[in-house]
Amino acid sequence: MAKRKLQSFADFNRALKSGYGLGDGESYIPWLRSQDVPSSGVRSKIKGLKTNRLHHLLSASETEFFYLAEYSDSVVDIREQFPLLPINLTLQISKSLDIPHPKHPSSKEPVVMTTDFLVTRLEGGKKNFEAISVKSKDERLSKRTLEKLEIERIFWNLIGVKFQIFRNSSLTESQAQNISWASQLVRYPSAGLQELVDDYSISSIRLGVNKVHDLLEHISDELNVSLEKGYEVLRYLIGTKRLIVEMSSPIDKSKIIQILEKRDFLGELKVGNL
């Protein structure tokens, strides 16, 4: 898909009429897509397990946060690159703070600001919203970055939404890598994998520390399949959280795996807080 031009109010109105920044769940279209903005980071497009759409992520840190958020039981929707509209509100906030509003480098017109993520949580039968700005642990926050964050914070405060800054760490990096590793086969299962998982009962798997090779042999013997296919089943069970495992170090490179909990259910992915 081609890069869109977002340099003027006419461009913004055209984007809104096309549905950008609107909707929720599967119908949401991010205000900015990975191809719309220059980025020195690692961009990703990831199929959402809860939204059933492609998520446009503009950096490795955003990708990391996405995996962690999706893996949370309480999160029911994730909207990335969420526009702060109406633009008049951010203009008024910047004026009151005596902070220059972000402008397009070419047209010099004010641009629609965005927050990296707007997360919807369902807790106790009640929906709550959280706005998240993602910053890498290695990123030094300049004065200008802090000014823009302050505009964001006040915008969300005025409409009653909690605003937070997420900064990754070595722990969240490992957790996100493990979620990516396990959930890839949930997003794109190999032929026959779902049927194998449906036929397998996790009741005989032992809680606690297991040798990976022993676990694979057990699964493979139970299903009468190869170790490679048993490995796919293990990944799928972790990716759907039928097996809750320790994720503070890379699972795919380890010879042992610590199983904390078993959830013998099938159906929609319900993922829980780390």
pLDDT digits over 35-83, tens only? 887 766 688 999 999 999 999 999 999 999 999 999 998 999 999 999 9
pLDDT for res 271: 40
Instruction: Give yes or no for a cis peptide into 30 (omega within 30° of 0).
Output: no
Contact 239, 184 (CB under 8 A): yes
Ranges of beta strands (E only) in 84-157 are: 114-123, 126-135
pTM, rounded to two decimals: 0.91
Q: Cis link prior to 38 (omega < 30° from 0)? A: no
For residue 270, pLDDT beyond 50: no
Domain segments of the chain: what residues? 9-168, 171-262
CATH code of domain 171-262: 1.10.10
Tens-place pLDDT, residues 152-208: 999 999 999 999 999 999 999 999 999 999 999 999 999 999 899 988 889 889 999
**pLDDT bracket for residue 274 (50, 70, 90):** very low
Residue 266 has pLDDT above 70, yes or no: no
**Could you tell me the CA-to-CA distances from 227 to 170, 214, 220, 258 in Å, in that order?**
31, 10, 6, 19
The mean pLDDT of 235-262, rounded to a whole number, is 92
How is domain 9-168 classified at the architecture level of CATH?
A: 3-Layer(aba) Sandwich (3.40)
Chain centroid to CA 221: how far?
A: 35
